[in-house]
């Protein structure tokens, strides 16, 4: 027998029996799940591009004070509703003569905050309830999931308007509203996936070894629920931004002087026949951001969909 | 038989199938050639990853076209499978070639009744009224011995037991009197008492219809029960071919011999089973030469140099091995043979 | 104590002590029952029940392999889960090595699990896809309070023992392994607590034949080395014959025949056992079966037939089979080692093929 592939004389060593020939080669590196996900993302150029776009948007919001050519709140009666590329006002000015570009840069701070914070909060709350409901099953599941169904019964916009209306305006209330609206769908996703995991043999094996429920949840259920929940949560970021803009547009969000994309759309609405393109600019910002988040989450879903 | 030399129903020459993805190219089938005569049952035996199912699915062109590279030549009846348009292929599927799957629950449509599904296939391929098609469906259910077929005609797949579902699947496959039936482990998921019923029925129907059958299985007992000819596959190649008695009782390839001795079958309890050591090669990077050589106790240096040519081990019995004589010497004499 | 039997360098958990002595059966199960409710209707009411395990009693002797055979729906997997207490039993009791399980004075559930482990069928769900396999194996010693590093050392030794090199395999994930390799990991995981008995639920059924042979050989070695008792559940009669000392045949949630493997395979007394044995396929085309030994599918366990549950498929069924449930007993007054639940085997049962009742003076 020649060749480096030959593992051992057959049956000579019982331990070598199960070791297949190919494992003797310097096999592929062990990457683990997240390693594999990253490997897939690395070659998904479209997703990487939009990830870059998101980073740009985030950076422009963070560094808005450095990047903005003007003070976003400085009004000028003389320069109201100017068109694109009007002197230094690259994107024109609004109905109070404030620089649109500066306001969009600053507005990104509010909008991104509205997109990310409620999603993170809802992921924790909804994920927790969902995992508990899915793993426990039975009556606890019924109680938790039926309560979530109450929220599901309303269209999300209507629900957001109702909650926001009763809480009143303001940034904190808007964050709370969005969190409440986003929790039920995340809870449902976590519940579905946890109840699937619950029926797997490896969970039974863990129970058979005498592990406590908490230990099984931490070591076996959570790690498997994380990726579907994460993917779903990332799709909600853009939804949350849109919802927040909608609330601001309706006057249920942040209060007027603060720059906010939704609010800008709302106040520029009246000028739509005078300067249609300028009025659309905050909308373009919303569109770009939500498309970027959606496409990245799509790529993330594909990368995480490892058959494992 | 030899004097008349009828044209084979199926002729596959040098079939190569590989699946291409960003990470790797998997060579699932590496030059497979075989023929099936009309009215003949060929069993392709192999373990997971041997390429047996891939070979069979290629005959129906069921692989995703964008990620699959198929080379070679396949003819079934008068149809050159690889030359057909997708539209013509759809006419061939179900009418000339049909297939029975391992898990009928996934192959049958859950939202239509058994009768509807059979009738739809009949109408699509043969036309005619719905009423006539339903009558044909009833006849077919009778043929596959489904008890109280009138009631089962209106049943949905999930309302049937595993055995009945597989019978319904077979009825569906036979609905247009195909000349070639492909069966992919159709009895593996069934209980032993049901499996034998389905095997006996399949054999009877095959004789009645005069169909050619390609039957894929990993179970040597199933092959012994149903096959006329047997092809043993390993790492995407047919390594032994012959009549069922020749291959199973007088194996000429070390892998076939190893499969036979590792099949648990009345061995004495205190002795170890003679298992084949190691596991099959990685199809992403096949070694040159015989793919079985690293696990083979008969291997000699030339085995790893080039793939061994096919050698005759008897009349209509061939194996791709340099050591046929040595293997023959190691075959235990059969008390009942 | 069996500490010397482990042959491992890293100190594993001690194998629990033999408490009852050699003659004490490892496991005695009495009257196990588990019915699954079928709920339906508007109010989710219980409309029927599946009698998955219905009054099953048996013993497993120390050091033996008890084979359990039966078709799908016979309750063999439910039985395994009842024994592991993964399912709650509706009735019945367990005695493990002389100690009643789950009572005040007896064995706690935690102690039972140190003694009794289970190997699951190889499937995509048998190992946690997000854990490297050595973590999966090290998990149960950690649950029982072992320090992380040591649990990992034990995991690596067990990997070595089941034929997987820890340096190649330890950090790998289940999807990178073949079916046979995963099943070796499943076995290593079950051994991690150094138990005295393993329940193997269709442990080789999903594997290719050549891999099955490797794993069966491994199971044989491990049994000797770790001084184990096996309960081997399978639908493959060839494999059960090879591995078992005694065999229990189940049909629709009940035991129909129980006895030494050679006796049962040579002289099955229950028509169901006989039919199952006739359904075995041989690797010789001359041995083809032309008429099916049984017709029809196993009946639905939701509404099992009255009397003898097998009577609907039995060629010898008579009215007595419809009326009375045959008890599991020694046949024809023979030794108590071979038990059958069939009227034909019990004298005076009223079946035309049964011997007349013994005359009582």
User: B144-166 pLDDT, tens per residue?
Assistant: 888 888 888 888 888 888 888 88
Structural domains of chain A ordered from first start: 37-304 (1.10.3720.10)
Query: What are the pLDDT tens digits along chain B (337 aa)?
Result: 445 668 899 999 999 999 988 778 888 999 999 999 999 999 999 988 889 999 999 999 988 888 899 999 999 989 999 999 988 998 888 889 999 988 877 788 888 898 999 998 888 888 888 888 899 899 999 888 888 888 888 888 888 888 888 899 999 888 888 999 999 998 888 888 889 999 999 999 999 989 999 999 999 999 999 999 999 999 999 999 999 999 999 999 999 999 998 888 777 777 888 888 888 888 888 888 899 998 888 888 888 888 888 888 888 899 999 888 888 888 776 544 3
Question: Chains A and B: how many Cβ contacts under 8 Å?
Answer: 44
Average pLDDT, 10 consecutive residues per value, chain C (361 residues): 45 80 90 87 76 92 94 89 92 91 85 92 83 91 90 92 88 85 93 94 88 91 93 93 94 93 91 93 89 84 86 89 88 74 85 74 59
One domain, residues C80 and C185: yes
A16 at the B interface (CB within 8 A)? yes
Q: Does residue C214 share a domain with residue C274?
A: no
CB A143 within 8 A of CB A132: no
Structure tokens at C321: 């089979």
Give the DSSP letter of residue B71: E
- CA distance from start to end of chain B: 24
Decide if C357 is inside a domain. no
**Are C149 and C113 part of one and the same domain?**
yes
CB–CB contact B192 C276 (8 Å) = yes
Q: Which residues of A touch B275 (CB under 8 A)?
A: 17
Chain A CB contacts of B278 under 8 Å are 7, 10, 17, 19-21
DSSP C319: H
Please give, rounded to a whole number of angstroms, the shortest distance from the CA of C78 to a CA of chain A: 13
- C152 lies in the same domain as C71: yes
Same domain for C86 and C21: yes
- Compute the nearest-CA separation of C283 from chain B (Å): 5
Other Cβ atoms closer than 10 A to B86: 8
- On whether residue C358 sits in a domain, the answer given is no
In a domain, C352, yes or no: no
Number of domains chain C contains: 2
- Chain B contact for A1, CB < 8 A? yes
Contacts of B47 (CB under 8 A, 6+ apart): B218, B234, B259, B280, C208, C209, C210, C211
B192 touches chain C (CB under 8 A): yes
* C222 and C108 belong to one structural domain: yes
Domain shared by C296 and C155, yes or no: no
Long-range contacts: B300-303, Cβ < 8 Å, 24+? B301/A1, B301/A2
Whether residue C213 sits in one domain with residue C66: yes
Q: How far is CA B189 from CA A249, B101, B183, C328, in A?
A: 60, 10, 13, 30
| Final residue of a structural domain among C193, C226, C251 | C251
Q: What is the ipTM of this complex?
A: 0.86
C353 domain residue, yes or no: no
Q: Which residues of B touch A (CB under 8 A)?
A: 22, 275-282, 285, 287, 293-295, 297, 299, 301, 304
Contact A7 B278 (CB under 8 A): yes
Which of the listed residues C251, C284, C312 is the one where a domain comes to its end?
C251
Pair C309, C221 in one domain? no
Query: Is A2 close to B22, i.e. CB distance below 8 A?
Result: no
Q: Range of C295's domain?
A: 268-345
Domains of chain B: 10-96+178-330 (3.40.50.300), 107-177 (no CATH)
- Indicate whether C202 and C315 sit together in one domain: no
CB C160 within 8 A of CB C8: no
Pairs of CB atoms within 8 A across B/C? 135
Same domain, C183 and C330: no
How distant is the Cα of B300 from the closest Cα of chain A, in angstroms?
A: 6
Same domain flag for C155 and C97: yes
CB–CB of C47/C228 below 8 Å?
no
CA distances for B215 relative to B100, B152, B173, B226, angstroms: 9, 27, 14, 9
Q: Cα(C149)–Cα(B262) distance, rounded to whole angstroms?
A: 38
- Inform me whether the C-beta atom of residue C32 falls under 8 Å from chain B C-beta atoms: no
Which residues of chain C does B262 touch, with a Cβ-Cβ cutoff of 8 Å? Answer: 209-210, 212-214
Per-residue pLDDT of chain A (308 residues; tens, 9 = 90+): 333 333 333 333 333 344 343 333 334 555 667 777 787 788 888 888 988 988 988 888 888 777 777 777 777 777 776 667 667 767 777 777 788 788 888 888 888 888 889 999 999 999 999 999 999 888 888 888 988 888 888 888 888 888 888 887 778 888 888 898 899 999 999 999 999 999 889 999 999 988 888 899 988 898 889 888 888 888 888 788 888 888 877 777 777 777 888 778 777 777 777 777 777 888 888 888 888 888 888 888 788 775 54
């Amino acid at each position: 027998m020649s060749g480096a592939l030959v593992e051992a004389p057959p049956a000579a060593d019982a331990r070598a029996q199960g070791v297949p020939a190919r494992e003797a080669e310097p096999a592929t590196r062990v990457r683990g799940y997240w390693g594999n996900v990253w490997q897939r993302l690395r070659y998904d150029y479209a997703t990487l591009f939009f990830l870059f776009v998101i980073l740009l948007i985030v950076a422009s919001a963070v560094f808005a004070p450095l990047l903005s050519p003007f003070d976003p709140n400085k009004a000028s009666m003389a320069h109201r509703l100017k068109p694109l590329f009007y002197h230094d006002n690259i994107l024109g000015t609004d109905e109070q003569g404030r620089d649109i570009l500066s306001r969009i840069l600053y507005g990104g701070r509010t909008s991104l905050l509205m997109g990310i914070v409620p999603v993170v909060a809802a992921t924790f709350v909804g994920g927790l309830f969902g995992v508990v409901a899915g793993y426990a099953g039975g009556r606890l599941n019924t109680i938790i999931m039926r309560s979530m169904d109450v929220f599901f019964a309303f269209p999300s916009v209507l629900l957001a308007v109702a909650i926001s209306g009763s809480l009143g305006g303001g940034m904190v209330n808007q964050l709370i509203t969005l969190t409440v609206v986003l929790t039920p769908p995340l809870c449902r996703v976590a519940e579905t996936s946890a109840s699937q995991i619950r029926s797997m043999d490896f969970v039974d094996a863990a129970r058979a070894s005498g592990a406590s429920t908490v230990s099984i949840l931490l070591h076996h259920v959570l790690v498997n629920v994380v990726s579907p929940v994460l993917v779903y949560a990332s799709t909600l970021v853009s939804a949350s931004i849109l919802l927040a803009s909608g609330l601001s547009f309706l006057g249920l969000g942040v209060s007027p002087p603060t720059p906010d994309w939704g609010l800008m759309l709302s106040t520029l609405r009246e000028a739509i026949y005078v300067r249609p393109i300028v009025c659309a600019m905050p909308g373009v910002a919303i569109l770009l951001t939500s498309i970027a988040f959606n496409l990245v989450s799509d790529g993330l879903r594909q990368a995480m969909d490892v058959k494992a | 038989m030899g004097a008349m030399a009828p044209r084979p129903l199926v002729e596959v020459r040098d079939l190569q199938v590989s699946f291409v993805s960003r990470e790797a190219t998997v060579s699932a089938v590496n030059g497979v050639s075989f023929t099936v005569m009309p009215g003949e049952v060929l069993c392709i035996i192999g373990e997971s990853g041997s390429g047996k199912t891939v070979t069979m699915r290629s005959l129906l062109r069921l692989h995703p076209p964008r990620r699959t590279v198929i080379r070679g030549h396949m003819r079934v009846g008068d149809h050159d499978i690889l030359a057909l348009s997708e539209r013509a292929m759809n006419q061939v599927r179900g009418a000339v070639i049909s297939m029975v799957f391992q898990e009928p629950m996934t192959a049958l449509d859950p939202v239509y009744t058994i009768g509807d599904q059979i009738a739809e296939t009949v109408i699509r391929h043969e036309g005619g009224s719905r009423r006539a098609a339903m009558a044909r469906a009833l006849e077919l259910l009778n043929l596959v011995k489904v008890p109280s077929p009138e009631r089962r005609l209106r049943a949905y797949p999930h309302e049937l037991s595993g055995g009945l579902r597989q019978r319904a699947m077979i009825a569906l496959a036979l609905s247009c009197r195909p000349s070639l039936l492909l069966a992919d482990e159709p009895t593996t998921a069934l209980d032993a008492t049901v499996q034998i019923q389905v095997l006996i029925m399949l054999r009877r129907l095959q004789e009645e219809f005069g169909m050619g059958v390609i039957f894929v299985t990993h179970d040597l007992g199933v092959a012994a029960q149903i096959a006329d000819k047997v092809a043993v596959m390993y790492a995407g190649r047919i390594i032994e071919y012959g009549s069922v008695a020749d291959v199973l009782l007088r194996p000429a390839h070390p892998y076939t011999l190893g499969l036979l001795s590792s099949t648990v079958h009345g061995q004495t309890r205190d002795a170890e089973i003679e298992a084949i050591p190691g596991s099959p090669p990685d199809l992403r990077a096949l070694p040159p030469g015989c793919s079985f050589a690293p696990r083979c106790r008969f291997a000699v240096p030339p085995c790893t140099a080039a793939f061994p040519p096919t050698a005759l081990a008897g009349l209509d019995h061939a194996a791709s091995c340099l050591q046929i004589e040595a293997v023959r010497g190691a075959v235990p004499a059969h008390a009942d043979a | 104590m069996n500490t010397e039997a482990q042959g491992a360098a890293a100190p594993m958990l001690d194998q629990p002590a033999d408490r009852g002595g050699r003659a004490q059966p490892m496991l005695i199960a009495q009257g196990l029952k588990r019915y699954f409710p079928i709920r339906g209707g508007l109010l989710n009411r219980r409309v029927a029940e599946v009698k998955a395990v219905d009054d099953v009693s048996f013993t497993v002797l120390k050091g033996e392999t008890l084979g359990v055979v039966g078709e799908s729906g016979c309750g063999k997997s439910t039985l395994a889960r009842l024994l592991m207490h993964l399912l709650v039993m509706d009735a019945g009791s367990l005695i493990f090595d002389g100690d009643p399980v789950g009572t005040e004075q007896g064995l706690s559930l935690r102690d039972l699990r140190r003694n009794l482990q289970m190997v699951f069928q190889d499937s995509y769900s048998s190992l946690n896809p997000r854990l490297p396999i050595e973590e999966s194996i090290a998990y149960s010693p950690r649950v029982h309070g072992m320090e992380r590093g040591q649990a990992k050392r034990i995991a690596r030794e067990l990997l070595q023992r089941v034929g997987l090199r820890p340096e190649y395999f330890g950090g790998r994930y289940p999807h990178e392994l073949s079916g046979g390799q995963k099943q070796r990991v499943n076995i290593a995981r079950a051994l991690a607590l150094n138990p005295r008995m393993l329940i193997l639920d269709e442990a080789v059924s999903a594997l290719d034949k050549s891999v099955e042979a490797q794993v069966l050989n491994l199971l044989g070695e491990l049994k000797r080395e770790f001084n184990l008792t096996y309960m081997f559940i399978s639908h493959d009669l060839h494999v059960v014959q090879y591995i078992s000392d005694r065999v229990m045949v189940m049909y629709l949630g009940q035991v129909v025949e129980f006895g030494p493997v050679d006796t049962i395979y040579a002289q099955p007394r229950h028509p169901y056992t006989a039919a199952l044995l006739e359904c075995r396929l041989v690797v010789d085309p001359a041995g083809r079966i032309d008429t099916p030994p049984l017709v029809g599918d196993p009946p639905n366990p939701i509404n099992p037939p009255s009397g003898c549950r097998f009577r609907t498929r039995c060629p010898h069924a008579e009215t007595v089979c419809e009326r009375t449930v045959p008890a599991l007993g020694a046949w024809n007054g023979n030794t108590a080692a071979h038990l059958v639940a069939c009227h034909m085997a019990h004298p005076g049962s009223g079946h035309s093929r049964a011997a007349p009742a013994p005359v009582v003076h």
